[in-house]
Amino acid sequence: MRIVFAGTPGFAVPSLRAAANKAEIVAVYTQPDRAAGRGRALTPSMVKREALERGFEVRQPQTLRSRAEREALRALRPDLMVVVAYGLLLPQSILDIPEEGCWNVHASLLPRWRGAAPVQRAIEAGDTETGVCLMRMEKGLDTGPVLLSQSIDIGEHETGGELHDRLAVLGSQVLGDGLGLLRAGIRPVARPQPEEGVTYARKLDKAEARLDWTQPAQVLANRVRAFNPWPMAEAEVAGERLRIHAAVAVPLDHQAAPGTVLAAGRHGIDVACGEGALRIRTLQRAGGKAITAADYLNARRDLPA
């Protein structure tokens, strides 16, 4: 079975490994190298690094819409194309090339959280369950029929980064199951997505990271979890801008203005919200590293105990 793999970030690496264990990888498509870091040096994607280590051919087109790219893909004679967080839209002319079509590993239980940031949006919304779907791709955004799926619970204090890593592994397992069936001559049954329950996981924006103290504490606690490690929640606390790494909602009744520090101690820093209070447990000062609230308070004796 000849497979073309398309993916870019770390989330896709376990799936690339799973595909390599089940079939012949004839080429790996990934996003062009991007400038990164303080020196803005061109940096390869994590998928490219993995592919080069394994000796796979790597291709990095800016777009797949040209005739030249269509012919280049067709010349590979792929039986299947596997797409995992690639970052480029595949036009119908590309989807039609592989004999078995194009499969996508998507980090949600479709049709909930179609789109770019399903992991973080699930946590932000307070979902207690999510999962992975192996989907046959169509022209629409994550609209294709589901071939296989697997669900998992979201931990009460689980961050976006932690859930991302678990789903990356789960996605590779589901992909491996699907490829195993195909190798055995069994095509997974394609189940159309239901029309009800569709939600969209819009791309994360750094501007979203600023916490609004007028909102309920539970809403803010969910965002703190969802936006860790990126874009990382930020808030003004007692006159200082801080990045919030970990916090929980506390059902406190208070009459204080949103943003007021209600109490501060080894347990954390309680900040008044529109409903309840947010207890900040781990934070980061400008130019510093992440520290516990207790360590922070050693330098902020002015805060109420």
Is residue 189 in some structural domain?
Answer: yes
| Range of the structural domain that residue 227 is part of | 206-297
CB atoms within 10 A of CB 66: 11
**Domain match, 185 and 210 both:** no
Kindly give, in sequence order, each residue whose CB lies less than 8 Å from that of residue 70, ignoring residues fewer than 6 positions away.
64, 93, 94, 97
pLDDT tens-digit map of 274-297? 999 999 999 999 999 999 999 999
pLDDT tens-digit map of 177-214? 999 999 999 999 999 999 999 999 999 999 999 999 99
Domain boundary among 181, 201, 221: 201
- pTM of this structure: 0.95
d(CA 135, CA 205) in angstroms, rounded, equals 26
**Domain match, 19 and 160 both:** yes
Annotated binding site for (6S)-5,6,7,8-tetrahydrofolate: 108-111
Is residue 305 in some structural domain?
Answer: no
pLDDT at 37: 78
Is residue 102 in some structural domain?
Answer: yes
**Domain match, 55 and 192 both:** yes
pLDDT at 3: 98
d(CA 161, CA 60) in angstroms, rounded, equals 26
pLDDT at 301: 80
Weakest-pLDDT range from 35-49, 119-133, 169-183, 268-282: 35-49
pLDDT at 39: 79
pLDDT tens-digit map of 131-189? 999 999 999 899 999 999 999 999 999 999 999 999 999 999 999 999 999 999 999 99
Question: Please, which pLDDT band fits residue 299 given cuts at 50, 70 and 90?
Answer: confident
Annotated binding site: 108-111
pLDDT at 252: 93
**Domain match, 251 and 143 both:** no
Amino acid at 221: A
Is residue 83 in some structural domain?
Answer: yes
pLDDT at 151: 98
Per-state percent for the chain, helix, strand, coil, to nearest 5: 30, 30, 45
| 160-183 helix and 13-22 helix, angle to the nearest 10 degrees | 20
pLDDT at 35: 86
Asked if residues 261 and 237 have their Cβ atoms less than 8 Å apart, the reply is yes
Domain boundary among 201, 219, 236: 201
**Domain match, 30 and 136 both:** yes
Question: Span 19-36, mean pLDDT?
Answer: 96
Kindly give, in sequence order, each residue whose CB lies less than 8 Å from that of residue 156, ignoring residues fewer than 6 positions away.
none
Strand boundaries in 67-128, DSSP class E? 80-84, 102-106, 114-115
pLDDT tens-digit map of 214-264? 999 999 999 999 999 999 999 999 999 999 999 999 999 999 999 999 999
Is residue 302 in some structural domain?
Answer: no
Backbone angles phi, psi at 4, to 5 degrees: -100, 125
CATH of the domain at 282: 3.10.25.10
**Domain match, 189 and 44 both:** yes
**Domain match, 213 and 196 both:** no
Q: How many CA atoms lie within 13 A of 156 on its CB side?
A: 2
CATH of the domain at 59: 3.40.50.170
Backbone angles phi, psi at 191, to 5 degrees: -105, 115
Question: Please, which pLDDT band fits residue 305 given cuts at 50, 70 and 90?
Answer: low
Domain boundary among 170, 201, 232: 201
Query: Is the pLDDT assigned to residue 36 strictly greater than 90?
Result: no
Question: Span 29-36, mean pLDDT?
Answer: 93
**Domain match, 286 and 243 both:** yes
**Domain match, 212 and 194 both:** no
**Domain match, 75 and 186 both:** yes
When divided into structural domains, the chain yields a total of: 2
Residue with tokens 């409903």: 275
Is residue 174 in some structural domain?
Answer: yes
**Domain match, 93 and 212 both:** no
d(CA 159, CA 216) in angstroms, rounded, equals 19
**Domain match, 261 and 121 both:** no
Is residue 39 in some structural domain?
Answer: yes
